[in-house]
A and B are shown apart, each in its own frame.
Chain A
């Protein structure tokens, strides 16, 4: 007896039962059913890389209002929308990022430039300036007419020297200021409660920041090419590191508490692990002029830096080259840059007096995204990641347009570094210097570590 069965498909299981239903799909993962799977995936990756560049429109908006260059930006902790900016004209503006409106505007908060801003508990703002005062403002009234000139501070903390920076303690009502020494203030007292300084230091402190997790530790950078770590529990400077060039800004990582980021005058950024200060953990090279500001993303995986070369760059932690670079024709030297609290946006304040809002991922779509759309985006991202070694895909996703002066400067810089390298190689080849192994660049950053 012969048994015969012939293949047949039941149409009922492959056709939608009712008109609105999605058509049923069937899958067969046998590789023979999917010829050219790899080549097609590469094409998809290429398209994903191209689409990423097509949709890369990072500029969102610019917030106007300052008459002079924006010196400092500061975001309100535990708020996604509120950001304060201080300018060289002595004005302070409180911005709302969603409505792009001004919540409060304090004209002439200081004589001369506003050099530091930080929020304290309960909608109050501390500002310091070169007029040797720290002022405490109440900005929580929600009244946009704060901008009238008769707006008076809640409190004024006078000092003998001009302030360069201010930062608030994470939890306690303490704040630290930087002038020619680091001073710790209590919000309720009019005189500093302690002065911190490194014993042999005669420097000007340019910035000071509290650690976010180990909240009694703070770091400062000075004009004598050093950065210093203090502990307010012991009330003294613990460690000082002398580097090749001075730093312009510093920032503590929010997720890696021992990680400290420095923006240096020598065009580079450095991350240090404070448990091992002799060697930076990573050097970040791409700027072609001094880096003026830096700030970590709240995720601790990225950070933003703004430079004298009129660009804003967004770096991945631990990846020392190839950052995302933002620029516009009208943006001048970037003196301050911060991440927004949701890590989706970056703010930059520049010499032209504008605060600009950028997307932190240039091609991200703003607005509501459906689940299907999000899945497609994630698939495209993973394709780009997977095929980044492919010459064409990698080139498209790496390439960034730079303004001509920046491009020329980077070319010149590359030539100079190449010449220096060749000279060093020849020197090593023909002198006794060649008998030892070359010193890694990372190891020659720190000149001295002092206690």
Chain B
């Protein structure tokens, strides 16, 4: 900065102005310190100073990109500030691991000869702590095979029997919220955002009850429902029924959002992917379809089994990457949702396919015949060609067939199995996420916290049309525009910024990958093809064009055949 206003005759006449004034700042080398004898600064500093709170105190963290290739100093300093902030928050995030205080459960064996699956539930319950041993329970109930569902914080359990016995209760405290005998077929039950409401799929319609079991709504649009799912961040209730229609009901506004005709007939299998809110349906002809509210057709359709699909479940521990299915044909398959070409691994279950369920830590529970087998994370996800089951972690026999539902309890090492004689909870060490986040779901939340969460959840409700296979598309960059570059018609002032910089020779090309020759090549090829096509349009000489394409050094028998005059063939 040159001192124009510092001296008495500060503002010099134009002619006498030093030539250096414009040049010095640009030519300054990188190492040069800002000169300490800045006259203007010295003159001005006693009148103008930043308050202490606004002054920068911390130095930049290391490994922050300096963006030296950016010429504009304003933009550069903004970018540096942003990346420094990002680096700082990343470093802070590393420290946040200190907050994780609870330890996950586990079973450790010594040596090759000991197997974890030999350990029975009695032994696990004996060696578990007093609080944890409460998870091992048997509920002997009449009224057909049972299905269950946990609330999002894992504190409350809703059970429904085939013949109409519905109960919701806080299983830890042992307080019953509601118990109903509905006297008609009930096929599924689900909690809404918390324990205050639940929906039951009954014989004809879906009914909504409040915590005390008072019937609030009868959803007559959902006819003969078989399965229910609640999407907690979108406040949507999805149901599928014997008619084969997938229906979304917005529970915050009450309107029926959309109904999709699956065209696959009655459907008994539904699961949601918690990370992108996509609904997975398994059908009678062995296909699995993935649905979003804004697409009238499945986003993905996959032939998974040779018979009907019995159960579908999506792994939460990998961000919804793995899906597992079981079929009536007795096979269990694990799929990679990023790449549908064949299953990652498959095996046949001995007693025919049953229910399947992933836990929060990636344990896979498979109900087969009269027992439940549990496999653990790293081996279940690994690709493996032979059709063999992964090493067994825990198995638990249950004599009451059929086993109709498997549910892992969130934030606990508990698996609840619904069967014809009621429900039984077993302990599966290492299946539950040990550290919960109070902002998302808190097993110990108070009444006030529950109310606050409900209001916050409604305020943060995500619009249903934002459901897509990739949830990260929100806030990401738009795809590049199709605007062609280099057209001479557009005046300089109307060109996009990058084009203007390019014409001025100031464009920063450092980040553009150098795969231009490739593109050029293919472009030329395409050009030629396009020209050929255009040339022939309207002439009607398709045979000639076909022959020219065949004109090569290779003797193609079909080409020869066609080009031969007819009389030679006679």
Contact = CB atoms under 8 A, between A and B. Distances in A.
Interface stretch (A36-44, A78-86, A149-157, A308-316): A36-44
Q: Which of B8, B15, B412, B437 counts the most chain A CB atoms within 10 A?
A: B437
Nearest to B118: A2
A36 B412 CA distance: 23
Nearest to B493: A438
Contacts of B106: 3-5
A451 B13 contact: yes
Interface string B396-415: 00000000000000011100
Given A5-B429, A32-B316, A26 B129 contact: no
A44 B47 CA distance: 42
A168 to B, nearest CB: 15
Main secondary structure of the interface of B (DSSP, over half): loop
B99 A8 contact: no
Interface string B411-442: 11100000000000001011011111111101
Nearest to A239: B11
Contact of B475 (A7, A42, A318): A42
B429 A437 contact: no
Interface stretch (A52-60, A132-140, A210-218): A210-218
Interface residues on A, range: 35 or more
Interface in A1-28: 1-11, 14-16, 23, 25-28
A143 interface: no
Contacts of B446: 16, 23
Contacts of A234: 8-9
A47 to B, nearest CB: 6
Given A214-B43, A239-B11, A451-B13, A36 B471 contact: yes
Nearest to A44: B460
Given A35-B233, A213-B48, A6 B132 contact: yes
B135 A254 contact: no
B438 A27 contact: yes
Given A4-B128, A9-B411, A28 B436 contact: yes
Contacts of B216: none
B109 interface: yes
B89 to A, nearest CB: 11
Main secondary structure of the interface of A (DSSP, over half): loop
B444 A11 contact: yes
A217 B10 CA distance: 9
Contact of B472 (A38, A41, A215, A256): A38
Interface of A: 1-11, 14-16, 23, 25-36, 38-44, 47, 170, 211-215, 217, 229, 231, 233-234, 238-239, 254-258, 274-275, 318, 387, 390, 421, 425, 428-429, 437-438, 449-451
Given A39-B233, A231-B11, A451-B14, 13 more contacts: A3-B106, A14-B444, A15-B444, A32-B316, A32-B317, A34-B437, A35-B233, A43-B461, A234-B9, A238-B10, A258-B4, A275-B21, A421-B493
Interface of B: 1-2, 4-6, 8-11, 13-15, 21, 40, 43-44, 47-48, 74, 93, 96, 99-110, 114, 116, 119, 123-124, 127-129, 131-133, 135, 233, 274-275, 277, 316-317, 319, 411-413, 427, 429-430, 432-440, 442-446, 449, 459-463, 466, 471-472, 474-475, 491-494
8 contacts: A6-B128, A6-B129, A27-B439, A28-B99, A29-B93, A32-B317, A40-B233, A238-B10
